[in-house]
Structure 1
């Protein structure tokens, strides 16, 4: 069973160390001290080379912020994208490279994203009718996570450029966070208009590119590699209970609101009554699962991020910060502010 098959290992999520390797290559290419970063974050070469190696999302974001600090390049995510290879997306990247069309390549990357990345904020998606690949929202945005959006959108773009041999492939890029004053840098890199402060994070491809066959297209190899991906995906999900799957789908729904059992059941492709019965057979219920999910996420947000208490309250789906404070005191006997002070005092 891979690390990704344990959805509670880090409630905020984790990603493949292959992405950390790309980040370190970008740091070195920009004149930063990659070896010092490896030492600072306790990363060694065998660990970075392991296909199954994972790094928690908060740790990866801190690594990215440190890399930006040492290189002085706030657009380091673009550099990461430029240095991304199909193999850096694991076997899903190789499967994508052999697809019949770019559309199928992106669909492959999106379908098997869980093989290399599990984030509590959501999962990527494809809007085929608009020729778009969409990365989920990771708001609230700050200096620790801008580069994540940049690197993903740039990596998708670079992979398509690699597959097609074309550079002028996009019609538009949309980025959810506000402009950081580097609009021209981004438009020069993506070679198309870039909209900041948008309602989504996405790249929209030209129609001719969407339908183009990658240079390494091979039907038989694509089928073989996607079968391997499918087997890995099912192996991951095999280790999940109904409560695990419900928690995985519930977490992105928490932002700013409390999800209902009807919404969650619909996401799971079942009925509210059936879901409640399945959870009961595992010794839990919807309300208990919701409460425990919030409690675990609250601890990780307080320990692992610099998000404000009001931001954490929103991320956990509470109506307001006082409701979060009341729940946290019920869970742990102290306020979240007191707990954060305790953490800082002990470091």
Structure 2
């Protein structure tokens, strides 16, 4: 299998495979929505949608989802997306997951190789094998543009478990970080278990019998072969990262409400502050420069690509208060963030 190094996301907030967009379009059509206009509006060609390597920026994906919700009137479109997600819709990782010896191993496979189909600056999903928990990282602050993202990811994981077991009652609990949007009964009916909104995390907890369930599709030899391909692709992606790239990937989730320290980043990378600073220096940069660069890139994308308020952006970038963010933005771009957003919306 010939591997090609995938380029880094051009948007600081990350990107996602068009495989997920295809699922979204199927869900919109299932809800009676016409998708051709959306495809034209968001410049989605049939050839791009057919390619497993094509990507869309995370903010553009969120705007597309919001447009789909507005078109169909279904605020729970994310659940519909999850229900229509097949293993192949999550790429090579999904095919590897389908051949795992248990549902728990399948989720572990899907989460370990999530980077193959989505690079999100806000974080990565994780797995707690002891608690039989699959967690999706926080994408707060929440609004009508990103509720569906949480719904679709959690629902897709559940759909995989249902697909592999032939059962619908696979969960003990669902926790969702955003507040209730008034559809609690619908969510509990779909997940078939208690759903807690305004929780401290986004997660699903599987029943023990489901976690260990051996699916009919289990195939040890094929699973090993497919996971090796996943490992090769993952290694190829990570080999293209410099130390500065690794630091920037860790910085964004840590910025929310505070300024990370060199010591914190070094600990996460398993090294000492002095060694990390030396490595960055050899690449012609330093921790403070990277922190400023990361904030600058993210600030422009938040202003241009999202509807987050300026105070929310200040918090997301780890500034002590909005005035501190305004001052930094003025230094970076010679214009205030409010004026910048106004100019972008006016197309100037």
Same fold (TM over 0.5): yes
Q: Give me the whole-angstrom Cα distance separating, in 2, the residues matched to 1:34 and 1:184.
A: 29
* Secondary structure at the counterpart of residue 346 of structure 1: coil
SS at match of 2:237: helix
Once residues 3 and 41 of structure 1 are traced to their aligned partners in structure 2, the CA distance between those partners, rounded to angstroms, is: 26
Q: Is 2:40 aligned against 1:45? A: no
Task: Tell me if 1:240 matches 2:241.
Answer: yes
Determine if contact 1:92/1:229 at 8 Å carries over to the other structure. yes
Distance 1:2 1:37, change over 3 A: farther
Within a 5 Å distance, the mapping from 1:207-218 to structure 2 comes to: 207-218=208-219
Is residue 93 from structure 1 mapped to residue 100 from structure 2 by the alignment? no
**Counterpart in the other structure of 1:230:** 231
Look up the match of 1:269.
270
C-alpha root-mean-square deviation of aligned residues, in Å? 1.1
User: How far 1:2 moved relative to its partner?
Assistant: 5.7
Q: CA deviation at 1:184?
A: 0.5
2:167 is equivalent to residue 166 of structure 1 = yes
Counterpart residue number, 1:305? 306
How far 1:346 moved relative to its partner? 2.0
The answer to whether the aligner puts 1:141 opposite 2:142 as a matched pair is: yes
CA deviation after TM superposition for structure 1 residue 215, in Å? 1.9
Unaligned 5+ segments in structure 1 are: none
TM-score (norm 1): 0.98
Partner secondary structure for residue 213 of structure 1: coil
- Secondary structure of 1:134 counterpart: strand
Cα distance in 2 for residues equivalent to 1:49 and 1:268:
37
- Offset from partner CA, 1:107-135 (integer Å, 9 cap, x none): 11111000001111111001112110000
CA distance in 1, matches of 2:310, 2:250: 23
* Corresponding residue of 2:11: 10
Q: Is the 8 A contact 2:5 2:236 kept in 1?
A: no
Structure 2: distance between partners of 1:329 and 1:286: 21
Specify the alignment match of 1:62 in structure 2: 63
The more displaced of 136-145 and 101-110 is 101-110
Query: Structure 1 residue runs of 4+, over 6 Å off?
Result: none
Say whether residues 1:252 and 2:240 are aligned partners: no
CA distance in 2, matches of 1:102, 1:346: 49
Contact 1:174 1:203 in 2 (8 A): yes
Q: Classify the secondary structure of the residue corresponding to 1:226.
A: helix
Which shifted more, 52-61 or 323-332?
Answer: 323-332
The Cα of 1:4 is off from its aligned counterpart by 4.6
Post-superposition Cα deviations, 1:157-184, rounded to whole Å, max 9, x if no partner, equal 0011001111100000000000000000
Match of 1:183 in 2: 184
User: By how many angstroms is 1:227 displaced?
Assistant: 0.3
Bigger Cα displacement from structure 2, 122-131 vs 284-293: 122-131
Which residue of the partner structure matches residue 287 of structure 2? 286
Q: Measure how far apart 1:3 and its partner are.
A: 7.5
Query: Which digits, 9 at most, give the CA deviation of each residue in 1:9-50, with x for residues without a partner?
Result: 110000000000000000000000111111111101110010
Taking a change above 3 Å as real, the CA distance of residues 231 and 20 of structure 1, as seen in their structure-2 partners, is same
Tell me if the contact between 1:4 and 1:118 (Cα under 8 Å) persists in the aligned partners.
no
CA pair 183-2 structure 1, distance change in 2 beyond 3 A: farther
Q: In 1, distance between residues paired with 2:263 and 2:327? A: 26
